[in-house]
């Protein structure tokens, strides 16, 4: 059975440039790229020898799986951010030692937590914007 996209079609400079731009030098393809590739296969298939229905269903199943995995990864990232914020809130009132921008140890009491745009930062001894990852000790 002929492939849905002929090797000659995919080796043309225009096709290669198009795929290169969409790939952005990545070695993986996202769900949008997968769907574009699937649609391109359908558009470029030989009308007299269309794609096997089983192959089509397998590809759509693969697309659905990629989409669900992507959704799960996004949900996991939200959960991780929520856990990071919760952990940081648990530090309020505690004395911590952290490394400042110059990698010098500083000690102070955590006064507040700010969560903005997926980033959590602390206010320690009046100094805001401290990354919780820079904490080296909690007392």
Instruction: Sketch the domain layout of the chain as residue ranges.
Output: 7-82, 91-138
Span 21-47, pLDDT tens digits: 544 455 677 777 877 887 888 788 877
- pLDDT surpassing 70 at residue 82: yes
Instruction: State the pairing for strand pair 95-99/105-116.
Output: antiparallel
Q: 91-138 adopts what CATH topology?
A: SH3 type barrels. (2.30.30)
Span 89-128, pLDDT tens digits: 999 999 999 999 999 999 999 999 998 888 899 999 999 9
Q: Identify which has the larger pLDDT, 48 or 91.
A: 91
pTM (global) more than 0.85: no
Q: Residue 106's pLDDT is what?
A: 94
């Amino acid at each position: 059975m002929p492939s849905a996209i002929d090797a000659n079609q995919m080796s043309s400079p225009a096709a290669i440039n198009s795929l290169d731009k969409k790939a952005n030098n990545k070695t993986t393809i996202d769900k949008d790229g997968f769907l574009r590739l699937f649609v391109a296969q359908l558009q470029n298939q030989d009308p007299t020898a269309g794609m096997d229905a089983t192959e089509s269903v397998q590809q759509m199943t693969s697309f659905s799986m990629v989409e669900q995995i992507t959704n799960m990864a996004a949900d996991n990232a939200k959960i991780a951010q929520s856990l990071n914020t919760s952990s940081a809130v648990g530090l309020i009132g505690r004395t911590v030692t952290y490394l400042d921008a110059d990698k010098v140890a500083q000690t102070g009491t955590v006064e507040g937590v700010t969560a903005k745009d997926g980033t959590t930062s602390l206010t320690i001894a009046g100094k805001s914007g401290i990354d919780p990852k820079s904490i080296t000790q909690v007392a």
